Amino acid sequence: MPEAAATQGCPEFLLQAACELMAEHGYGAMSMRQLASRVGLQPGSLYHHVTSKQDLLFDVLLHILAQRLEAWQRAPYPRDLHGYLGFRLARQRSHPCEELLLRHEARHVSASQQAWLGQALDRLQAPLRHAIEHGQRRGEYLVQDIVSTLAAIQALIETADSLRNRPIPVDEAWIAAWLSRMCSALLRSAAVPVTRL
């Protein structure tokens, strides 16, 4: 099912309310009855818009990824590694529910839905991939396995969010500088030969 078709029948207000409830209570604890109450519908009326709770989660996750990609396309950030990292950090701060759902609730979707989410994530990571490939052509980066490198950078971005949410939060400027240093080191690490002790 194409991404556009997945959210076609589910109105924006319903996706937003579901996103908020899932972030507040978790996918497993959220009920369709709670969602109906939040949006002012009868519980049975929800099924005119979505076939199941799992499909609703899938629609919410695809909607989040589509909104992020659209935000990146409109964003004034430079189209390089540091611009992408700046965008992702700003998006984490301004949309904390998105990060939470993508990180913790995506495991609840079916295997076929996981494949569609993977494709949506690939589209979202395409600008990062292009920035890395451009850096390789210019000799700035030496990456042997771009898929693993993209996964490692994603993990670093998630760690940045964890630093922000500590009991004693870390300064945003420090997080941005740390993320930039870590990603730059990761992208240049293949250029440094590894010696055995």
What CATH number does the domain containing 95 carry? 1.10.357.10
Q: Does a structural domain hold residue 111?
A: yes
Q: Residue 6 pLDDT > 50, yes or no?
A: no
Low-confidence winner among 22-36, 105-119, 127-141, 159-173 (lowest mean pLDDT): 159-173
Reported as a single tens digit per residue, the pLDDT across 21-42 is: 999 999 999 999 999 999 999 9
Q: Domain range spanning residue 44? A: 3-191
Q: Residue 77 pLDDT > 90, yes or no?
A: yes
Q: Where are the alpha helices (DSSP H) in the chain?
A: 3-8, 12-25, 32-39, 53-74, 81-94, 96-104, 111-137, 146-164, 172-188
Q: Which distant-in-sequence residues (6+ apart) come within 8 Å of 82 by Cβ?
A: 180
Q: Does a structural domain hold residue 24?
A: yes
What is residue 170's predicted lDDT score, i.e. its pLDDT? Answer: 87
> Where does residue 65 rank: exposed (0-12), middle (13-18), buried (19+ CB within 10 A)?
buried
Q: Does a structural domain hold residue 197?
A: no
Q: Does a structural domain hold residue 58?
A: yes
- Output the average pLDDT for the chain: 89
Q: Does a structural domain hold residue 196?
A: no
Structural tokens at position 54: 């799992």
Number of folded domains that form the chain: 1
With bands split at pLDDT 50, 70 and 90, how would you rate the model's confidence at 194?
very low
Q: What is the pTM of this model?
A: 0.85
Q: Residue 197 pLDDT > 70, yes or no?
A: no
What is residue 9's predicted lDDT score, i.e. its pLDDT? Answer: 67
